[in-house]
Amino acid sequence: MIDQSYKVFVVDDERIIREGIAKLIDWDQLGLEFTGCAPDGLSAYDQMSAIRPDIIITDIKMPRMDGLELIQQTMKLLPYAKFVVLSGHGEFEFASKAMQHGVKHYLLKPCDEVDITDVLQQVISELDEQRNRISFYQIMENQLAEALPKVKEQLLRDCLLNRTFFKHEMEHYKKILHIHDEKVRLILFQLEAAFEFVELYALKNISEELIQTRNIMLSTIVGDKFIILLEDMELQEIVKMTTKIKEEFESKYKIDLTLSISNPCTFEDIPKIYYDAQQYLKYRFYLGESSIITSEEVDLELSSTQTEMVNLNYHNIVMAIKIGNTEDLKDELAYFFDKLREFRCEINMAISYCIELITTIVRQTMPDKINENIPKIVPILEMKTLEEIHRYIFGVSHVITKENYEVYSQKNRMLVHSMVQHIQSNLGNEELSLQWLAKHYFYMNVDYLGKLFRKEMNEKFSQYVTRVRIEWAKELMTNFNNYKVYEIAEQTGFGRDSQYFSNLFKKYTGYTPVEYKTMIKHDTHY
């Protein structure tokens, strides 16, 4: 339905013709608007951009710019305008040239209002048809523009879920969506907290705003993940862009965002890189939430074959808890979890190691509290990252360690005091060692005794024994200057290896035994 009149402009170098056409035609009845006239082509062209007429009635032969040139120039400016050529007898050649430029209508001078009205009605019909066609195309374009995002999303979902396409189907989709046969990458976004779908769509909008539109080929939401397919580019550039998205989203919505970026592939290989990108996301268990994960951080082939190589034990952790040494506990747990990260075994296997560890730790609890601590094993199953499990296990074991220290501290001090007494009594015994004491006097685990001794004395057992023996040797040299070096070595438990004794003595005192005896003799040692 036409709801707008068409504008008409007349160009002729004869005033009588210009004015005659203007007055003869009932413009309102035809639904036309007469917008003016000009005496030559150049004057007319100067007014075209301002008036923008739909119908131009023009003479052929005119000064300054003839009708043919006016038609050529105006067609560039107003491609949808229609022309009616006025020609006299003998100007058929000019009229035919106008026809070559697409002009369909001409009037032979002289002409009356009937002739002009008839031609104008034909032109009006053409303009109506043209306007309706343009309107139809515009409606189709608008509908396509509205439907295209949904088509794009559905195509990507179908590709991700490995729907089978016939070759001609895929080629058709790629053509209408302007997808070329270049390499692509997939980006998966995972929100790391409870969220509303409005936040997922906000992430979609932020991503499409910050990444250049020409680089995003397709995007969609699948379940709780937002996915972008984009043209391949340098990984560093993608990481830079996605970091901006993370920062923008996390600052606005206070929800951590974990991303995985696939390796490049062809459009047909999308299901494979989708699977890989999903596997990458799992490794936030090791790398932590709010990470950007690529194949550089994750070796899927290595992680799938390394399970058999993991050989972790909890012995040192248990010892630290038993003797109440919180510093050792912290160090040993850090070592355990560092090793677990290094191995990158299958995630369920890693969780099973952690459950085994906390079960072992709970067993070190005082008997009256073990039932209270057993339920503390279960929460690990709900934890998403290794770092979260690490913090949790340290918290539980730290409490148990402090309780053990408070309960056993007096007993441990008495035990270490007894060890010191036995050391003093057996300094001259070359067999004196931690193993020897454990076997002959205390009947306890050697490692436990060693850690307990270091905890209470702030010094390793072997260092303590060596230091006390050297002090005794210094005392013997002071009181019995005539003793030979090998005699002092034997008496202080270093055996017959005088060279070994001499090396240790110099290490602890800065002097050889001979030098030390000489200084004492001359009263120069202090």
pLDDT tens for 190-222 read 888 877 888 888 888 888 888 865 577 778 888
Please tell me the distance from the alpha carbon of residue 119 to that of residue 123, in angstroms, as a whole number: 6
Please tell me the distance from the alpha carbon of residue 465 to that of residue 434, in angstroms, as a whole number: 10
Chain position carrying tokens 């608007």: 33
Cα-based torsion angle of the residue sequence 470, 472, 473, 477 in order, rounded to the nearest 10 degrees? 140
Please tell me the distance from the alpha carbon of residue 336 to that of residue 284, in angstroms, as a whole number: 18
Q: What is the tens place of the pLDDT at every residue in 115-166?
A: 999 999 999 999 998 888 877 766 665 665 565 666 667 767 777 776 665 5
Phi/psi for 317 (5° steps) reads -65, -45
Chain position carrying tokens 């002289």: 110
Identify the burial level of 59 via C-beta atoms within 10 angstroms of its C-beta, where 0-12 means exposed, 13-18 middle and 19 or more buried: buried
The helix-helix angle for 386-425 and 446-457 (nearest 10°) equals 90
Cβ atoms within 10 Å, residue 24: 13
Token pair for residue 308?
């058999």
Tens of pLDDT, residue by residue, the chain (526 residues): 445 689 999 999 999 998 999 998 999 999 999 999 999 999 999 999 899 999 999 988 888 898 889 998 998 999 889 999 887 766 666 666 767 667 888 888 888 889 999 999 999 999 998 888 877 766 665 665 565 666 667 767 777 776 665 566 666 566 656 666 678 888 999 888 877 888 888 888 888 888 865 577 778 888 788 888 888 888 888 888 889 999 999 999 888 889 999 999 887 788 888 888 888 888 888 888 888 888 887 765 544 444 444 567 788 898 888 888 888 899 999 999 988 888 877 788 888 889 989 998 988 887 777 788 888 888 998 888 899 999 999 999 999 998 888 877 777 788 888 888 888 889 889 899 999 988 888 878 888 888 889 888 889 999 999 999 999 998 888 888 788 888 888 988 888 888 988 999 999 889 998 888 888 877 654 4
